[in-house]
Structure 1
Amino acid sequence: MTHPFPDPDTRNPLILPDGSAHAGTVFLKAVIDHPRFIVGDYSYASATHPPEDWATHLAPYLFPVSDEKLALGKFCQIADGVVFITASANHRRDGFSTYPFAVFDHATAAGRPSLPEWSGPDTVLGHDVWLGKDARVLPGARLGNGVIVSAGAVVRGAVPDYAVVAGNPARVVKMRFDAKTIARLNALAWWDWPIEHILEHEAAICGADMEALERAVP
């Protein structure tokens, strides 16, 4: 039996051979209800032990009152164990102690000298980013379109479009395509096409025939 491609608001989009939905794979748009967490269509995450709260599972230090945002583009793929370490849990590093005394005091924390004044910049992923198992994404990281993050990598800073990064700290180990091809892919922006058109041209999108992909532009 052929199943239609699931709507991006589907909670469990992966259908197993027996017809049941795989509980450990979710379209994040359907399960994230967090004011500082932004998710594009069809981006998914997987977990061996699926959590009740996917937002906290993926970004445990992103709070509703956080200054920064965590933004994921469309068609991102997030493997089991990935964690976004956003900046809201930062400690002061400019004084003699990093200890956050205000966190454990019942008095109002605002303006206390043991807390940093600002949590930091947004963490942003482009479209079609693949994060391997147990990867860590540090505060303020900005990953371009088509980036691949190797399993266990610890990513910080800016990662260029279509780079492959690995290690701790993660470094670019190679570029997936040459600069001209990357520019053409970004100009095509296939992730913005209607899903029916994307599926019709799956071979061109997942293959390496640029001419066919450019002919497929709706």
Structure 2
Amino acid sequence: MTGLHGPDPDRPYPMADHRRVCFIKNFIQSPNIIVGDYSYYDDPVDPEGFERNVLYNYGSDRLIIGKFCAIATGVKFIMGGANHKLDGISTYPFPIFGQGWETEIEQVMNLPSRGDTIVSNDVWIGYESLIMPGVRIGDGAVIAARSVVVKDIPPYTIAGGNPAQPIKQRFNDTEVAQLLEIKWWDWDRAKITRSIHLIMGNNIQALYDAR
């Protein structure tokens, strides 16, 4: 095992025996999507097509995904480009179809934005969940399968449902504060490899002491 320091995050498919899992950052083309090292998408049919799950991505808002996130098959992100005008009588986007309706194009420009959508580090998002614009999912959070996330989820919280609600906090407040201070995902590969047994274990104090 000497000299082995974990997989290369720049390798698109980290598992040699199959290609259902990819490190997402290697397949991103849009400048509005930013993905950290080791975050992966698991899809038995089209893992490299993750970017197609980022819907209505033609505004100024960004999707930012941290490091070491696990994103299951069919997870989708709705971006701010999906917004329609809400302060008029009709929400229909008449001007985009032209033919005389384009005279009111200013009414569908610069619609209110909820800002960037942020998935922090070490987040697990379950099968076919839907993440709405402008939410922030905290470090270490878990989103249950087929959840619809419409508001921020605190760090190290398990959330689920439609709309997603906190189910329980994974650790107590003191432990969560320690984990947010440790930020093990920012360690170098060699240190992470040496500390795998602590990162995967449940002795937070031992991991804190190893920081």
Q: Deviations over 1:121-174 (max 9, x none)?
A: 110011000000000000111010000000000002211110000100000010
SS state at 2:106 partner: coil
Q: 1:68 to 1:110 in 2, by over 3 A?
A: farther
Q: Aligned runs of 1:18-97 on 2, under 5 Å?
A: 22-50=18-46, 53-55=49-51, 57-63=52-58, 66-97=59-90
Task: Give aligned pairs, total.
Answer: 209
Aligned ranges 1:3-22 → 2 under 5 Å: 5-16=6-17, 22=18
User: After superposition, where does 1:1-218 map in structure 2 within 5 Å?
Assistant: 5-16=6-17, 22-50=18-46, 53-55=49-51, 57-63=52-58, 66-105=59-98, 111-115=105-109, 117-217=111-211
TM-score by length of 1: 0.88
Following the alignment from structure 1 to structure 2, what is the Cα–Cα distance between the partners of residues 89 and 211? 44
The alignment partner of 1:113 has SS state of: helix
Decide which structure has greater helix share: 2
- Provide the C-alpha distance between the structure 2 equivalents of 1:96 and 1:110, rounded to a whole number of angstroms: 14
Identity %: 38
> What's the TM-score once normalised by structure 2's chain length?
0.91
User: Residues 96 and 105 of structure 2 are in contact (CA less than 8 Å); yes or no, is this contact kept in structure 1?
Assistant: no
Secondary structure of 1:159's match? coil
CA contact (8 A) 2:21 2:47 kept: no
Q: Which amino acid aligns with 1:90?
A: N
CA distance in 2, matches of 1:51, 1:197: 29
Tell me which amino acid in the other structure corresponds to 1:83: K
CA change 1:32–1:200 in 2 (3 A) is same
Contact 1:73–1:127 under 8 Å retained in 2: yes
Deviations 1:87-126 (A, max 9, x none): 1111112211111122322787994324552343110011
Structure 1's unaligned 5+ residue stretches are: 17-21
Q: Which has the higher contact order (CA 8 A, sep 6+)?
A: 2
In the aligned structure 1, how far is the partner of 2:15 from the partner of 2:103? 44
User: Structure 1 segments of 4 or more deviating over 3 A?
Assistant: 106-111
1:98–1:114 CA contact under 8 A, matched in 2 = no
Counterpart of 1:79, as a letter, is: A
Does the 8 Å contact 2:84/2:111 carry over to 1? Answer: no
Partner SS, residue 37 of structure 2: coil
Aligned in 2, Cα 1:110/1:98: closer, same or farther, shift over 3 Å?
closer
Gaps of 5+ in 2: none
In structure 2, the residue matched to 1:19 is: none
